[in-house]
Structure 1
Amino acid sequence: MRSAFASSASPVGLGLLPDPTRALSARLEDLDKGFPLHQMPLGFGTLAYRIAGAGPTVVLLHGIGSAAGCWLDVALTLRDRFRILAWNAPGYAGSTPLRQAHPSADDYAAALHQLLAHTGVSECVMVGHSLGAIVAGAYAARDRRAEVQRLVLLSPAQGYASHDAARREAVRTRRLTLLETEGIDGIAAQRASALLSNAATPAMQEWASWNMRQISPAGYRQAVSLLCDSDLLSRPAPAMPVDVRVGNHDVITPAAHGQAVAQAWNASFALIDGAGHACHIQCPAQVAEIVCRALPNRRAG
């Protein structure tokens, strides 16, 4: 039987890396055992999250077409040295949608604040992928209980609030029409492959699709509203250091988008070689290294 872990080690000494070619059944077993699901009560319902490991805390925020499980291989790689916390955003995979029909980034950040308080996080490195970058930016800008020591934005979405109304509504209509006509399974069937480069294995594509199917229709509608009505760069540059990384094969938020964020926020910028949009699924070892180097006193010389 194939081992769940590959024999190569991370350049930053994180030990054995999960085997990116393992089957979905093996991934789900790893998910249950190594990155288990928990729930916490909220005033309007529950919030689901996954947690593993011990040490300095890393908070992982997924994108619009995913869920906490997408971080599995990154979490398994980092858990021996760090405490890894990934939420299912409101409306995703067991988390109750927010009360607001059209929640703002600040509304998501308020829910995240409750999660970090519940799990006793006093300081962390926060990683936001795609739409998760908008939530991370909102959280970093608020009066926080948890100190964000550094922001890592992977293929950040900027949102469409700065675009003209026609462009903004076209994006909203296209996504919501697909939801109504095809459902969540149809969205996964049509969009999951776009998250990865052409070099992705079938196992990676299957994993991206499984995570995309964890969305609830209500949660997706709210997330589409967040995407269309937000502008990441409308906020001042965060007080803490920021790193922006983008897969060099990302066709959803390509390099130029990440460079614009990096320039506006005086952030470091680099490409992730071989990765598409879902870099943490396709190149988890490289993402784990990026996160590890973001921890205080652990940056490369």
Structure 2
Amino acid sequence: MTETDTHLLESPLPAIEEATLNLPTLGDKRVITYRATGDANAPAIMLLHGIGSSSAGYRAQLAALSKNYRVIAWDAPGYGQSSPFAVSTPAATDYADALAGMLSALGVTRATVVGSSWGSVIAATFAARYPAATHAVVLSAPNVARGHLSGAERDAAREALMRSATAQSPEARAAVVDALLAPNAAPLVRAVVSRLRDAVTPTGWAQAVDMLFSTYTPSVIRSIQAPISVVVGNLDRLAPVEAHARPIHEAARHSTLHVLDAIGHMPKLEAPEAFNAIVLAAAGAGTDGAHRL
């Protein structure tokens, strides 16, 4: 870790805010919670967390990227205080539509969309569904999703994902951290990652799992017009490069693959300085300033 990495991981989180969406697929109060930094009139960077995380997982990006950008990290539907979906088995398109509704509520018309792991599936779906709203896409530790599975293989995969939701004891959380991070990850990184499940709810997790079986990311990637940056650690054991990042990269029209050495499944926290540089390059390429109403 660099000195900058340490500083970023020790930075305080912005306060949680709320956006109300006029979206029938969202139940409860139709609220999405989020954290934001930077000038509200600046070009936007939208951050989408993984299945076992929340907006808090982007601590290092919220702290570093706001000099020239409005940086927004959401709590996906069903996470934290965000309303879950009213539909029992939402599809990836439902999450993309919720993201579009949130950006509209915040007055953002175009954004660089950054998705981590499960969030990469939402980012790709959003970019394909809302091309005019997508400046660039950054997919971190991306996932091909599970829409290509069927029958017993599909059932077994879903059961395994649902079982992993129960990892709440200290011992189980430590095992999750071990799986997420490279073996040499610093204690500070481990401490930050161990807290990421605090905003996960049973409903949010179950709906997120079902979403994974509604799509197949390489098929979605082919229709994305915006430039794509794929970021992956060479020690990622949850979504190994050859099984996930590479087929996504090769299916894309315009994609750059960044393989980070000695990094696991959490590049944004294991190597935040290097990760942020990739995000800034993506956000800055061809910026025309037309990001707000």
The answer to whether the superposition gives a TM-score over 0.5 is: yes
- Quick one: distance in 2 between partners of 1:210 and 1:153? 22
- Quick one: distance in 2 between partners of 1:47 and 1:94? 7
**Aligned match for 1:279, one of 251, 254, 267:** 267
Q: Compute the displacement of 1:117 (Å).
A: 0.5
The count of aligned residue pairs is 275
- Quick one: distance in 2 between partners of 1:241 and 1:39? 30
1:289 alignment counterpart: 277
1:13 alignment counterpart: none
2:207 alignment counterpart: 222
Q: Structure 1-normalised TM-score? A: 0.84
**Aligned match for 1:196, one of 172, 181, 189:** 181
**Aligned match for 1:128, one of 115, 132, 141:** 115
Residue 261 of structure 1 pairs with residue 248 of structure 2: yes
Q: Structure 2-normalised TM-score? A: 0.86
C-alpha spacing 1:187/1:166, structure 2 compared with 1 (3 Å)? farther
Residue 39 of structure 1 pairs with residue 26 of structure 2: no
- Contact 1:59–1:125 (CA under 8 A) maintained in structure 2: yes
How high is the sequence identity, in percent, across the aligned residues?
29
**Deviates further, 225-234 or 91-100:** 225-234
Q: Compute the displacement of 1:189 (Å).
A: 4.2
1:234 alignment counterpart: 219
1:63 alignment counterpart: 50
- Quick one: distance in 1 between partners of 2:169 and 2:138? 29
Gaps of at least 5 residues in structure 1 are 1-5, 9-16
- Quick one: distance in 2 between partners of 1:158 and 1:293? 24
Q: Compute the displacement of 1:7 (Å).
A: 5.5
Higher relative contact order (CA 8 A, sep 6+): 2
C-alpha spacing 1:203/1:298, structure 2 compared with 1 (3 Å)? farther
**Deviates further, 83-92 or 72-81:** 72-81
- Quick one: distance in 2 between partners of 1:188 and 1:253? 19
- Contact 2:79–2:199 (CA under 8 A) maintained in structure 1: yes
RMSD over equivalenced CA pairs, Å: 2.2
2:233 alignment counterpart: 247
Task: Give per-residue Cα distances to partners, 1:62-93, cap 9 Å, x unaligned.
Answer: 11111111111122111122110110000111
- Contact 1:184–1:216 (CA under 8 A) maintained in structure 2: no
1:208 alignment counterpart: 193
C-alpha spacing 1:227/1:190, structure 2 compared with 1 (3 Å)? farther
